[in-house]
Structure 1
Amino acid sequence: MSPRRPALLELDPAVVRRARSLARTAGKPVVDLARAHTTVSVERATLRLAGLTGADHEGTPWVNHLVDAVRAEVGLEHGVTTPVWDALRRDAAPDLLTLARKASSGGVSFRLPERGELTRARRAARTAVARGVRTMDRQRVARERMVRTVGDAPRTPWIYLIVATGDIHEDIPQAQAAAQAGADVIAVIRSTGQSLLDFVPEGPTREGYAGTYATQENFRLMRAALDTTGRELGRYVRLTNYASGLCMPEIAVLAGLERLDMMLNDSMYGILFRDINPIRTFVDQRFSRQVHARAGIIINTGEDNYLTTADAVEAAHTVTVSQLLNEYFAKEAGLEDWQLGLGHAFEIDPSVPESFRLELAHALLARQLFPDAPLKWMPPTKHMTGDVFRGYLLDGFFNLVGAMTGQGILLVGMMTEAVVTPWLSDRDLALQNVRYVMDAAGGLTEDFHPPRDGLVQTRARQVLSEAVDLLDRIVSDTAVPDARYPQPLLAAIADGTFGAMKRPAAKGKGLDGVVVKADGYDNPATTLLEEGATR
């Protein structure tokens, strides 16, 4: 997808360069921290690439059993794969699944092999994990082939619509109907609370809460259904889910194996809004983004959420700061510009004078700062009151800003916002709203030229300046609230800089799943994913 190029704001190139330089300065210590750690979910994701699937009769996945058993006996400091493939080479079990089953009942002994046995175990592990990476490679090729042969969405922005009944078998016909009504991207919202589960459920699921569980089988079923619909419509229909929470790396792997096209994957969302430990999040995020880079998946970031807990005018610069950090973390992990669905939102209180012009300035600033990224433009939610007529008008304003500023991914706003599974008639009206605005005003990017010192130009420059000031304060702050984690960005997160949420680095869910790597740590998945990645 080639983003549209709207009229340029007159931003100082030196200020833009400084913003990116400061984001890199703030982000690099966190990347170094991530590279020095692993997590239980990274190790489980590696076993999933090697083909380990399934769960016991209570629903606990075999990857959890195997990683827990290795950790209890020899630790994870050297990675899970070396002791696992050493055990397989010693004939502890004929295959990975049997080994996991035996390990769950204490029937296997693990060790850290040495010398030649170490080399052979690691070679065998790399061979097994490489098969999963090759499957992701084939799925990426299959996507590219389908886009060429079936056809692609005929225009930008891609129209992004949510489906979430809780029952995958109900989601499928609703998703197909949405595609037939004009949606280009189908997002299956996860069941409430899944991000806090430290395991990935197995199989097709028929009961969720305000969403449907993310499982490999649910991914497979929905992907197959949308492929069928895409062939009927003559355009490839993209599928989105969530690579976030305590199982971020594993869900990213499952998405790559089952050919999902987009994944929600924000650098700080889980920290701020789910109270997941910051170290756990940044380690898991880096691995998951390496997977997305290899699989050709577009990430969607979650800056829109900041504006649901902070004022959309006063905190506008924090959105820009987060976008710059997300860009740095993504590119460091190997993602390219076309994969950066950086998020922002239409969330200014409509009673604020000139609210539409301010929204226009913010959206145009994001578009110019990231000209080759698709960007994900989010509809109004915070100030939707239940007045459906007012809500429909606000959604029309939102769509118009998207048209004027060339956004790449447009999430359909519903007049019955906050109803996760709306009436189909409401969804159809929302799609009609998008179609009307895009058909009538989609070319405004060619005509819209904000005056040099008008409100739009001035506001955009102000937000960028405030973003640079905030980044400068972050990297210059010498206060260290926790000597174990002196990274300035972690200190800023602990102080409530983003989304007004204070999240200390030594607290939060999932901290017990973080492990410091030992000298000689080996993970064939990381090695394979980093081969050819840009830095």
Structure 2
Amino acid sequence: MSKIRLDVKKVKEAREHAKKIALNTQRFVEEHSTVAVERTVLRLLGVDGINEEGVPLPNLVVDHLKEKHALEDGAAFHIGNAMVMLKKTPQEIAEEVAAGNLDLTKIPVADAFERNLAVEEVAQKMVEKIRKNRGVREEKLERLGDKSGPYLYVIVATGNIYADIVQAKAAAKQGADIIAVIRTTGQSLLDYVPYGATTEGFGGTMATQENFRLMREALDEVGEELGRYIRLCNYCSGLCMPEIAAMGAMERLDVMLNDALYGILFRDINMKRTLIDQYFSRAINGFAGVIINTGEDNYLTTADAYEEAHTVLASQFINEQFALLAGLPEEQMGLGHAFEMDPSLKNGFLYELAQAQMAREIFPKAPLKYMPPTKFMTGDIFKGQVQNTLFNMVTIMTGQKLHLLGMMTEAIHTPFLSDRAAAIDNASYIFNTMEDFGNEIEYKKGGIMEKRAQEVLEETVKLLGNIEKEGLFRTLETGKFAGIKRPQDGGKGLDGVVRKSAHYENPFFELLLEDGVN
């Protein structure tokens, strides 16, 4: 039963619109590939490393195929062919290409059965490695136990992975459940993944496979010491979305920011490119047991949280359907929203509570990601603590799951260890003293919150109906989300999109979606 008396028929109607929107877009997605998808295939086949100039081998091989107008067949086609004809491993083949000693398009075409067999044997080994990583996580959670209430989620962002490790361990000891290593400014716009451990970054730390490994090792160590499993989060949005998802799966990350709409709106990444990339990245995350975070909360940093609440809900519905198409279960959908209304708005807390309760009821299985107030944080740390306290109250009252802690110094500087400790203490106090409050209260029939939820849901149904008629691409052009307009053929990365040929091969979709654990 809906505590806020949502119209079940309207929820169903919204979901049906969203499903059609996703399916209409998916036709385009499945007909195309991208340079990032093909680099991901190479990484999953074991290709790694850089050349003398520091260029990643997956980039060099994909660029080679693109220059030869052969990328439309897929990297797996050409690597498999070379494996059969040259009796070499994918890594050896990539090194030969990088050195300029091999043209993959000049190799005679092998028998399709032999080619597929060679690739699938290597692919199966990587899939099994990812499956084992998921098993390790599940074993640790079973042995150490998992948290029933909201996960306390904090960010570290020094730019230096070794300093991040110190801060992450401290945060875990203070009570954090999820450590997000925020990515260095601008990395989402790089069309390659940096290599190795990094010690320099602005506003964050480079997302690299070695950095993932180092932080995972550190959190496992502190987790065993504390008797808790500490989840690791990073970002696989941007131009390397599926590559970073693959590296996260290899190194057992637990949570990933993974949202094409976020990249389109806030990083000006071409919509066609990133929606194709998102599909493969979510298939990987789904198989690996990774919880994805979506970026609807960001809409409210550029648009009014009261007036545009329905755009957040509409995007959540669309993200849900895209995730299901990629085989990602509801239990791994950290659909995003935020406590971002103007504090001067009369009854703003009631509207925030209504929005959060509505999201909880519409997506009952999803570990919703709830973001703290940021837009109206002024630098007054005392008022900031009050705003964060109200945010914490909504989380525990409505059963939000991934609770990104608000910092009292949000508008002043990157948080100190002491700021994180104060934020954790605040949330822990509220979550304990109000643990069952949400189950003890009822929402007034015909009251402000019920009416607000009904209004937002009705506006959401209208918006989704219009998007279904116009198509998602056209909708993004007209600026219906976050008030930001993006052209279909503009933005970054469109030149990395290719139409698949009749010979296209990528063994991982079948292995991840059909041979998966979901």
Q: TM-score range by the shorter chain?
A: over 0.9
Q: Structure 2 length normalisation: TM-score? A: 0.97
Runs of 4+ in 1 over 4 A off after TM superposition: 112-116, 532-535
Aligned to 1:60, the other structure's residue is in SS state coil
Matches within 5 A, 1:340-419: 340-418=333-411
2-structure distance, mates of 1:269, 1:15: 26
Deviation at residue 114 of structure 1 after TM alignment: 7.6
Q: Could you say which residue in structure 2 is the equivalent of 1:446? A: 439
1:24 aligns with 2:19: yes
Aligned to 1:59, the other structure's residue is in SS state coil
Matches within 5 A, 1:320-335: 320-335=313-328
Q: Could you say which residue in structure 2 is the equivalent of 1:502? A: 485
- Which of the numbers 11, 28, 37 marks the counterpart of 2:6? 11
- Which of the numbers 93, 100, 111 marks the counterpart of 1:99? 93
1:530 aligns with 2:482: no
Q: Could you say which residue in structure 2 is the equivalent of 1:484? A: none
Change (3 A) 1:99 1:113: closer
2-structure distance, mates of 1:434, 1:232: 23
Deviation at residue 58 of structure 1 after TM alignment: 2.3
Aligned to 1:299, the other structure's residue is in SS state strand
- Which of the numbers 18, 43, 47 marks the counterpart of 2:42? 47
Quick check: 1:347–1:379 contact (8 Å CA) kept in 2?
yes
Change (3 A) 1:112 1:466: farther
- Which of the numbers 74, 80, 90 marks the counterpart of 1:79? 74
2-structure distance, mates of 1:419, 1:193: 21
Name which of structure 1's ranges 394-403 and 119-128 shifts more when overlaid on structure 2: 119-128
Change (3 A) 1:419 1:332: farther
1-structure distance, mates of 2:104, 2:94: 12
Deviations 1:300-330 (A, max 9, x none): 1110000000000010000000000000000
Quick check: 1:164–1:420 contact (8 Å CA) kept in 2?
no
Q: Could you say which residue in structure 2 is the equivalent of 1:3? A: none
Quick check: 1:161–1:412 contact (8 Å CA) kept in 2?
yes
Deviation at residue 352 of structure 1 after TM alignment: 0.8
**What letter corresponds to residue 60 of structure 1 in structure 2?**
V
- Which of the numbers 269, 280, 293 marks the counterpart of 1:276? 269
1:312 aligns with 2:305: yes
Quick check: 1:361–1:456 contact (8 Å CA) kept in 2?
yes
1:38 aligns with 2:33: yes
Quick check: 1:82–1:118 contact (8 Å CA) kept in 2?
no
2-structure distance, mates of 1:431, 1:87: 54
Consecutive unaligned residues of structure 2, counting only runs of 5 or more, are none
- Which of the numbers 39, 51, 55 marks the counterpart of 1:60? 55
Q: Could you say which residue in structure 1 is the equivalent of 2:137? A: 143
- Which of the numbers 470, 476, 483 marks the counterpart of 1:493? 476
Deviation at residue 151 of structure 1 after TM alignment: 2.5
Deviation at residue 113 of structure 1 after TM alignment: 7.2
Q: Structure 1 length normalisation: TM-score? A: 0.94
1:131 aligns with 2:131: no
Matches within 5 A, 1:136-215: 136-153=130-147, 155-215=148-208
2-structure distance, mates of 1:356, 1:219: 38
Quick check: 1:299–1:339 contact (8 Å CA) kept in 2?
yes
Quick check: 2:84–2:110 contact (8 Å CA) kept in 1?
no
Deviation at residue 470 of structure 1 after TM alignment: 0.6
Quick check: 1:166–1:191 contact (8 Å CA) kept in 2?
yes
Aligned to 2:72, the other structure's residue is in SS state coil
2-structure distance, mates of 1:239, 1:534: 21
Deviations 1:93-138 (A, max 9, x none): 7433332222124311223878752331222112112211111001
2-structure distance, mates of 1:475, 1:227: 45
Deviations 1:371-428 (A, max 9, x none): 1111011000000011111111000010011111111111000011156631111111
* Percentage of identical aligned residues: 48
1-structure distance, mates of 2:315, 2:115: 41
Aligned to 1:246, the other structure's residue is in SS state coil
Quick check: 1:7–1:449 contact (8 Å CA) kept in 2?
no
Quick check: 1:287–1:526 contact (8 Å CA) kept in 2?
yes
Q: Number of residues paired by the alignment?
A: 518
2-structure distance, mates of 1:532, 1:447: 44
Deviations 1:429-488 (A, max 9, x none): 1111101111111211111211110001100010000000111122234xxxxxxxxxx1
Aligned to 2:240, the other structure's residue is in SS state helix
Q: Could you say which residue in structure 2 is the equivalent of 1:516? A: 499
**What letter corresponds to residue 250 of structure 1 in structure 2?**
E
